A and B are shown apart, each in its own frame.
Chain A
Amino acid sequence: MTDLALPQDGWIGRRMPREDTRRLVMGAGRYVDDLACRGELHAAFLRSPYPHAGFRLDLSQAKALDGVAAVFVAEDLARVCGGLICPDLAFPGMVSPQQLPLVAERAVYQGEPIALVLADSRAVAEDAVELIAVDWQELPAITRLDQSLTQDAPPVHLGLASNLGWSTQIGTDLRDAFAGAALVVETTLDFARNTGVTLEPRGLIAQWDAGALELRISHQMPHQLQLHIAELFGVAMSRVRVICGDVGGGFGLKMHIYQDELATIAAARLIGRPVRFIADRMESLMADIHAREHRIHGRMAVDAQGRIIGFDIDDLHGMGAYSVFPRSSTREAMSALAVIGAPYLHQVFHARLRCALQNKVPTGQLRAVGNPIGCAITERLVDLAASARGEDRLVFRARNLLPEAMQPWTSPSGFRLFGLSHHRCLERLQKLMDLPKLRAEISDACASGRWLGLGFASLVEFTAPNSRSYGPTGAPVAAVDAVVATLEMTGDISVRASVSEIGQGIRQSLAQVMADAMGVPAENVAVLTGDTATVPHGGGAWASRGAAIGGEAAWQAGVALRAQILEIAAALLQAQAADLDIRFGQVVDQHGSARMGLDELSRIVTLQSYLLPDGMQGQLSVSRTYRREADSALPNNGIQAVLVEIDPDTGHISALRHWVVFDCGRVLNPLLVEEQIRGGVVMGLGQALLEACSYDSGGQFISATLADYKVPMADDAPDIEVALVETPYAGSAVGAKGAGEAGACAAPAALLNAVNDALAGQGAQISALPITPLDVLRALGRVPQA
């Protein structure tokens, strides 16, 4: 039921820059650390330098330092703030002890906050942290994933019988299906831990006045945070105001609730002054959530005609020391399993999942949550099968991709797939790449001794979930979004929206939706987000939901406001509402002649309401909350390709060109969607080639600076060509699906396949990410294995 009222030549779908960024290019952004606050204190944390250690503290010297206002430990904060326990309704039996804002007695991961200093400046606070005398008792720790579940692995938390945090099985017995297969391919892939590295680190300023909290924080979901704080501090939600100004990147990292953030809020309450905590980069790399750590084994059965029969998966995932609050660390693995095989028609599916506790920071949800893992294992198996059959990889894909005629289709793992344009995307990709010509160029280059490789990866990602996703888990995550639209007296529209702007440009997209819904130019719409005191409750920014859910709420609010305003106009103009319309901010009649400006109408309603007919109140605001009833998530789809070159002697890998064809339903603003894709692709490139949270043999974290945790820079990224295919979601008026994460879903898989393609002639294979030049040389036998 895609809404026929959607204008043909409207604002939706226009390639427009973001009004918001006019400020940002001038350096006039307002990120949390840009705000001054009278009387504030600065927080710094003593964090555990060990992955597992008991401790006794002597605070006397730290407290005595000039400029230090207080030093708090666990028991101080316990007076005002509760602890976190990750809800496990969806994951029965999950092991995750309570997490206090500051840990007491024994730290279970390196970077865990132990004590908090408040001082006049961050520098003095850090001085004082160094003056805390600590008697450490190092305890046996487990950090390596492959050793975490062994018999003799030391327990992550004292007294645990096993480090198995959670496990599950999905699907059915495969023996018969696999026994009859013409071909079974298998592989094991290892994925290093990654972390988000928002360029703006996490940070907050907490201020309590008479029992009410004003919290400025760099965060993705102010309302969710507001609820948690109200509960943890035992105050009413109306006494907690959370304000997220400009946010310097989120990527999922800023949707969790961190111990240090709670500790800061608690400390502000105890001390009665504003407290600022801005994580420094070392703290960020060490104690922001990590993600991705998996060892995944996959088998795929194929019949004699080259049709995929099914998948058999065994995934071991590193959770860290706790299941991250509130969404859990198991989500990552569940998302990975959900997308395995999803682009392809298949009959059977089985997966075993084990989530291992480790003495490491918890893993949480990072852009594309789990998808890169699921996509990589699928696409690797697909390439292996094609190659075992001696067949072109795209021919194999084309045969197996889920055809449109068979949709909707419910996969053997229980996911409903619909509205997917795989074959159109595949065709489009081949044109975009000019594939025959490119293949000729590649073979010429290879003939002259260069090692080039082409990799492909199809993807399906489940976006914009409705409340069936988190509702049953007990995690207080809103899947609805709300919009309050108001006609102002200057004729412009204020949109107060519960979605969060974190750089993805959702405010611009909503402005375009509202412009069409209301009949005003997009520049006459201002979208406000991020402040719980001014915008209605809703989900914020997660799971690529802004356009699909927030956009729909904006559309409905706009349509309703338009109708309301036409009622008023009809009364004032003594016309029939049905004969009037709004165009370019003017009320027009059937002939399109302007009859009244929206500014004039709004002024009459507000300032000269005696002109309204009796009984008419003249509402200039509309509030709409949108929940999608059907379809628990909206699958999007696409395909990526990348061309890499490997230096045979150094093993150095260069990504030369990258192509993406992507279908996220109705595109609200192609300029912004394309850039979301590109950003995601380069994040995926980082995962494939550079990024790893590394630990030494003693379990010490050794990537605590940006020189050690290597993210892609401009010179590492190729140009990325993007083409969009539009298959609007039929179940909503606007028809948008999620777009923000897909780039990151498939890029690692495409790169892995490309590197293996380049190495195919050498009999070498790579199966661990990130792929370092050393890995390549080892695979080639030019440098001995470790």
Chain B
Amino acid sequence: MKPAPFRYERPATLEAVLALLDAHGAQAEILAGGQSLMPMLALRVARPDLVIDINRIAGLGDITAIPDGGVRIGARARHAEVMASPLVPALMRSALAHVAHPAIRNRGTLGGSLALADPAAEMPCCMVALGARIVTLSSRGETHHDAASFFHGLYSTARRPDEMILRIEIPPLGPQWRFAFLEEARRLGDYAIAGVALAMGAGEVRLAFCGVEPAPRCLPATEALILAGADPLPGLVELAPMDSDDAPEAYRRHLAGVLLKRALREVGHG
């Protein structure tokens, strides 16, 4: 279980990364935390010609407050750093407790998690629920994506091969906002079979699932029912859950309902 040969570059600047992406694009893999890429390399399911290590770029992992509210998280911020940051919404911190294990969180990054877009991963659905903006960068400049439209499907995002994720911007969410993250996984730290991220403000609700559909997205019908104070479960017909032997469609749908009800109870709604 050793990776196939690849070339390795560790640029010190964003410009150098972009130049490499321009030249190699789809044949290159960015190496951030490596907590997903390294296993894929070892299993030889990822076979890039070039690995671009972005760990030498200064400031790429910074977590800073945005002057007019909100927080900006550099793509290479490690899960453990995000978890420990008081600037970050509680939703992310509680969701990160479900992400892997301490040593993996010491290395794995927010940008890596979003770029990978594993359907069962916790961070992408949190981004949707927080109304985050994902900023990518290429030699053509920055592109700002709403999280809700960034995740296209299984391991697929709006990011183009010549782009890297640069940072994530979480809009300001005042103290009236309540959050809940809940998931069902076989073991602590396993990817979720189903998980829910819920954010509730005054007259506003945002909700997204992981593990249920191929990618997290907004669920307007369900959100409307919640706002109306009605039973939200009928709204979940808008879900088109994935189907597999170990987690069939009906099971994921059932869990989505259970988790949503619990999440609503946790934020004091219903």
Q: Is B188 in the interface zone, CB < 8 Å from A? A: yes
Instruction: Pick the contact of B5: A127, A281, A710, A715 (CB < 8 A).
Output: A127
Contact bitstring B86-113, A, C-beta under 8 A = 1, else 0: 0000000000000000000000000000
Stretch of A69-77, A543-551, A778-786 on the interface side? A778-786
Report yes or no: B4 in contact with A130, Cβ–Cβ below 8 A. Answer: yes
Q: Is A671 in the interface zone, CB < 8 Å from B? A: no
Asked whether A782 and B2 contact (CB < 8 A) given A690-B187, A716-B187, A772-B246, the answer is no
Report yes or no: A773 in contact with B184, Cβ–Cβ below 8 A. Answer: yes
Stretch of B67-75, B169-177, B204-212, B249-257 on the interface side? B249-257
Question: Residues of A contacting B20 with CB < 8 Å?
Answer: none
Q: Which of A123, A690, A783 has the most B CB atoms < 10 Å from its CB?
A: A783
Contact bitstring A277-317, B, C-beta under 8 A = 1, else 0: 00011100000000000000000000000000000000000
Contact bitstring B230-257, A, C-beta under 8 A = 1, else 0: 0000000000000001111011001100
Instruction: Pick the contact of B1: A130, A281, A772 (CB < 8 A).
Output: A281
**Distance A696 CA – B245 CA, assembled complex (angstroms):** 8
Select from chain B the residue with minimum beta-carbon distance to A774: B251
Q: Measured between C-beta atoms, what is the minimum distance from A232 to chain B in Å?
A: 28
Interface residues of A in 707-725 (CB under 8 A from B): 707, 710, 712-713, 715-716
Report yes or no: B251 in contact with A713, Cβ–Cβ below 8 A. Answer: no
Report yes or no: B258 in contact with A650, Cβ–Cβ below 8 A. Answer: yes
Report yes or no: B186 in contact with A710, Cβ–Cβ below 8 A. Answer: yes
Asked whether A715 and B188 contact (CB < 8 A) given A282-B43, A705-B43, A777-B251, the answer is yes
Q: Measured between C-beta atoms, what is the minimum distance from A710 to chain B in Å?
A: 6
Q: Measured between C-beta atoms, what is the minimum distance from A766 to chain B in Å?
A: 16
Q: Measured between C-beta atoms, what is the minimum distance from B38 to chain A in Å?
A: 13
Q: Measured between C-beta atoms, what is the minimum distance from A46 to chain B in Å?
A: 14
Report yes or no: B254 in contact with A710, Cβ–Cβ below 8 A. Answer: no
Select from chain B the residue with minimum beta-carbon distance to A773: B184
Chain A's interface size range is: 20 to 34
**Distance A777 CA – B245 CA, assembled complex (angstroms):** 14
Select from chain A the residue with minimum beta-carbon distance to B258: A649
Question: Residues of A contacting B250 with CB < 8 Å?
Answer: 783-784
Instruction: Pick the contact of A122: B2, B184, B248 (CB < 8 A).
Output: B2
Q: Measured between C-beta atoms, what is the minimum distance from A308 to chain B in Å?
A: 37
Question: Residues of A contacting B193 with CB < 8 Å?
Answer: 773
Interface of A is mostly: loop
Report yes or no: A123 in contact with B188, Cβ–Cβ below 8 A. Answer: no
Q: Measured between C-beta atoms, what is the minimum distance from A587 to chain B in Å?
A: 55
Q: Measured between C-beta atoms, what is the minimum distance from A369 to chain B in Å?
A: 26
Interface size on B, residues (CB 8 A): 26
Instruction: Pick the contact of B246: A122, A281, A774, A782 (CB < 8 A).
Output: A774
Question: Residues of A contacting B142 with CB < 8 Å?
Answer: none
Q: Is A126 in the interface zone, CB < 8 Å from B? A: yes
Select from chain B the residue with minimum beta-carbon distance to A697: B245
Question: Residues of A contacting B258 with CB < 8 Å?
Answer: 649-650
Question: Residues of A contacting B251 with CB < 8 Å?
Answer: 774, 777, 783
**Distance A754 CA – B47 CA, assembled complex (angstroms):** 47
Question: Residues of B contacting A350 with CB < 8 Å?
Answer: none
Q: Is A652 in the interface zone, CB < 8 Å from B? A: yes
Report yes or no: B254 in contact with A782, Cβ–Cβ below 8 A. Answer: yes
**Distance A783 CA – B39 CA, assembled complex (angstroms):** 34
Q: Measured between C-beta atoms, what is the minimum distance from B203 to chain A in Å?
A: 29
**Distance A716 CA – B188 CA, assembled complex (angstroms):** 8
Question: Residues of B contacting A772 with CB < 8 Å?
Answer: 186, 246
Q: Is B11 in the interface zone, CB < 8 Å from A? A: no
Q: Which of A121, A774, A786 has the most B CB atoms < 10 Å from its CB?
A: A774
Q: Measured between C-beta atoms, what is the minimum distance from A437 to chain B in Å?
A: 29
**Distance A649 CA – B250 CA, assembled complex (angstroms):** 14
Question: Residues of A contacting B262 with CB < 8 Å?
Answer: 649
Question: Residues of B contacting A650 with CB < 8 Å?
Answer: 184, 255, 258
Contact bitstring B101-135, A, C-beta under 8 A = 1, else 0: 00000000000000000000000000000000000
Question: Residues of B contacting A122 with CB < 8 Å?
Answer: 2
Question: Residues of A contacting B15 with CB < 8 Å?
Answer: none
Q: Is B3 in the interface zone, CB < 8 Å from A? A: yes
**Distance A650 CA – B254 CA, assembled complex (angstroms):** 8
**Distance A710 CA – B187 CA, assembled complex (angstroms):** 8
Contact bitstring B1-17, A, C-beta under 8 A = 1, else 0: 11111000000000000
Select from chain A the residue with minimum beta-carbon distance to B262: A649
Select from chain B the residue with minimum beta-carbon distance to A712: B187
Q: Measured between C-beta atoms, what is the minimum distance from B183 to chain A in Å?
A: 10
Q: Measured between C-beta atoms, what is the minimum distance from B1 to chain A in Å?
A: 4
Contact bitstring B184-197, A, C-beta under 8 A = 1, else 0: 10111111010000
**Distance A772 CA – B246 CA, assembled complex (angstroms):** 9
Question: Residues of A contacting B187 with CB < 8 Å?
Answer: 690, 710, 712-713, 715-716
Report yes or no: A786 in contact with B248, Cβ–Cβ below 8 A. Answer: yes
**Distance A694 CA – B184 CA, assembled complex (angstroms):** 21
**Distance A716 CA – B185 CA, assembled complex (angstroms):** 12
**Distance A280 CA – B2 CA, assembled complex (angstroms):** 9
**Distance A652 CA – B192 CA, assembled complex (angstroms):** 13
**Distance A782 CA – B258 CA, assembled complex (angstroms):** 11
Select from chain A the residue with minimum beta-carbon distance to B247: A774
Question: Residues of B contacting A282 with CB < 8 Å?
Answer: 1, 43
Question: Residues of B contacting A126 with CB < 8 Å?
Answer: 1-2, 4, 44
Select from chain B the residue with minimum beta-carbon distance to A649: B258
Q: Measured between C-beta atoms, what is the minimum distance from B119 to chain A in Å?
A: 15
Q: Which of A650, A694, A696, A782 has the most B CB atoms < 10 Å from its CB?
A: A650
Instruction: Pick the contact of B254: A652, A690, A707, A783 (CB < 8 A).
Output: A783
**Distance A650 CA – B44 CA, assembled complex (angstroms):** 35
Question: Residues of A contacting B39 with CB < 8 Å?
Answer: 705
Report yes or no: A713 in contact with B188, Cβ–Cβ below 8 A. Answer: yes
Select from chain A the residue with minimum beta-carbon distance to B4: A127
Question: Residues of B contacting A774 with CB < 8 Å?
Answer: 246-248, 251
Question: Residues of B contacting A773 with CB < 8 Å?
Answer: 184, 186, 193
Interface residues of A in 487-515 (CB under 8 A from B): none
Question: Residues of A contacting B255 with CB < 8 Å?
Answer: 650
Instruction: Pick the contact of B184: A123, A280, A652, A783 (CB < 8 A).
Output: A652
Contact bitstring A635-652, B, C-beta under 8 A = 1, else 0: 000000000000001101
Q: Measured between C-beta atoms, what is the minimum distance from B66 to chain A in Å?
A: 36
Select from chain B the residue with minimum beta-carbon distance to A714: B188
**Distance A282 CA – B2 CA, assembled complex (angstroms):** 12
**Distance A189 CA – B246 CA, assembled complex (angstroms):** 19
Q: Measured between C-beta atoms, what is the minimum distance from A758 to chain B in Å?
A: 18
**Distance A768 CA – B67 CA, assembled complex (angstroms):** 58
Report yes or no: A123 in contact with B43, Cβ–Cβ below 8 A. Answer: no
Question: Residues of A contacting B184 with CB < 8 Å?
Answer: 650, 652, 773
Question: Residues of A contacting B44 with CB < 8 Å?
Answer: 126, 130
Q: Which of A122, A649, A652 has the most B CB atoms < 10 Å from its CB?
A: A649
Interface residues of A in 641-667 (CB under 8 A from B): 649-650, 652
Question: Residues of B contacting A782 with CB < 8 Å?
Answer: 254
* Given A649-B262, A697-B245, A774-B251, 7 additional A-B pairs, CB 8 A: A126-B4, A130-B44, A713-B187, A772-B246, A773-B193, A774-B246, A774-B247
Complex A-B: 7 CB contacts under 8 Å: A127-B4, A280-B1, A649-B258, A652-B184, A694-B246, A772-B186, A774-B246
Q: Which 4 A-B pairs have the closest CB atoms?
A: A123-B2, A280-B1, A715-B188, A649-B258
